[in-house]
């Protein structure tokens, strides 16, 4: 039996990279997937790719920094399904600047997407998650990063936002447990995507690869499999935990 058969899932940031891989994998495992993204054309392309493979999906154009758009997202999900079994808060962005050059708009963009986006989407969809929780269980999977605890220059806003995601996830795991909702988070290592191309580009990436015991970057599909594990019944007794998928980078001393 498919791991998400007859389940309803929302994946934010689903147009590209990790989110698109998660949306595709979830659909292949039987879920109806709402593919949400600020990039409306990208979200529709992701949903269409799922449908072309025989899956079920609907695109939703939404900027998680905008409360009205998040409420519209929730209304769409509620109108279509009335319940929500899986939420993946994946929407993200990255601004690389020295701290001294980052203004309020830069900080608001990054924190607004990662932290406030996760708060807004989870808050708006909580009633639907609670319905599924009472009926047998629901799951929230948040995207943190190894950058919450390991750092290099010019990513202070990103690292701060991911550390906040970790703390928020653990807190919500305790608060949501009585509702039958599990909350976990993934800490990916370096995965080449459009968002990370500044860091994983050839030349710059050589030093990073030497710090990864497996000597390679991850793939979106590998992170999607980690998300699937936390989203499905295979992790039914796991909540408030972070799953690190980084090729061993975070445990390497050299």
pTM for this prediction: 0.95
pLDDT range class, residue 115, cuts 50, 70, 90: very high
State residue 192's pLDDT score: 83
Q: What local confidence, expressed as pLDDT, does residue 254 receive?
A: 64
Q: Which domains does the chain have, with CATH numbers?
A: 8-248 (3.40.50.720)
pLDDT in tens, 117-146: 999 999 999 999 999 999 999 999 999 999
Q: What is the CA angle 200-201-204, rounded to 5?
A: 85
pLDDT in tens, 148-196: 888 778 889 999 999 999 999 999 999 999 999 999 999 999 998 877 7
Positions annotated as catalytic residues are: 158
Residues shown for the chain? 254
Q: What would the pLDDT profile of 17-59 be if each residue is shown by its tens digit?
A: 999 999 999 999 999 999 999 999 999 999 999 999 999 999 9
Tally Cβ neighbours within 10 Å of residue 174.
Answer: 11
Cα angle vertex 203, ends 202, 208, to 5°?
90
Per-residue DSSP letters for 89-115? Answer: E---------GGG--HHHHHHHHIIII
The single-letter DSSP state of residue 82 is: S
Name the CA radius of gyration of the chain, rounded.
17
Write the DSSP assignment of 185-217 as a string of letters.
EEEE-----TTTHHHHSTTTHHHHHHTSTT-S-
| Cα–Cα distance, 230 to 244 (Å, whole number) | 12
Strands (E), 32-95: 32-37, 56-61, 86-89
For 218-238, b where at least 16 C-beta lie within 10 A, e where not — what string? bebebbbebbbbbbbeebeee
Across-strand partners of 35?
11, 59
- Edge-to-edge strand list for the sheet holding 242-245: 56-61, 32-37, 8-12, 86-89, 138-143, 181-188, 242-245
């Amino acid at each position: 039996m498919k791991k998400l058969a007859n389940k309803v899932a929302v994946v934010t940031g689903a147009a590209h990279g990790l989110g698109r891989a998660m949306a595709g994998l979830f659909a292949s495992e039987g879920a109806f997937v709402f593919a949400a993204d600020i990039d409306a054309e990208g979200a529709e392309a992701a949903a269409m790719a799922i449908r072309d493979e025989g899956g079920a999906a609907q695109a939703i154009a939404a900027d998680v920094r905008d409360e009205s758009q998040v409420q519209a997202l929730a209304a769409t999900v509620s109108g279509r399904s009335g319940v929500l079994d899986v939420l993946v808060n994946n929407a993200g962005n990255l601004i690389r600047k020295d701290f001294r050059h980052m203004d309020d708009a830069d900080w608001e963009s990054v924190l607004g997407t990662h932290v406030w986006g996760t708060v807004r989407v989870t808050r708006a969809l909580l009633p639907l998650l609670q319905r599924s929780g009472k009926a047998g269980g629901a799951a929230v999977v948040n995207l943190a990063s190894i950058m919450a605890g390991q750092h290099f220059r010019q990513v202070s806003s990103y690292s701060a936002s991911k550390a906040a995601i970790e703390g928020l996830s653990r807190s919500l795991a305790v608060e949501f447990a009585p509702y039958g909702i599990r909350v976990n988070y993934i800490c990916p290592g370096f995965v080449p995507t459009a968002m990370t191309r500044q860091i994983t580009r050839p030349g710059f990436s050589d030093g990073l690869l030497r710090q990864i015991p497996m000597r390679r970057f991850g793939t979106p599909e590998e992170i999607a499999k980690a998300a699937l594990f936390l989203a499905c019944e295979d992790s039914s007794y796991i909540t408030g935990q972070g799953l690190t998928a980084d090729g061993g980078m975070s445990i390497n001393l050299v």
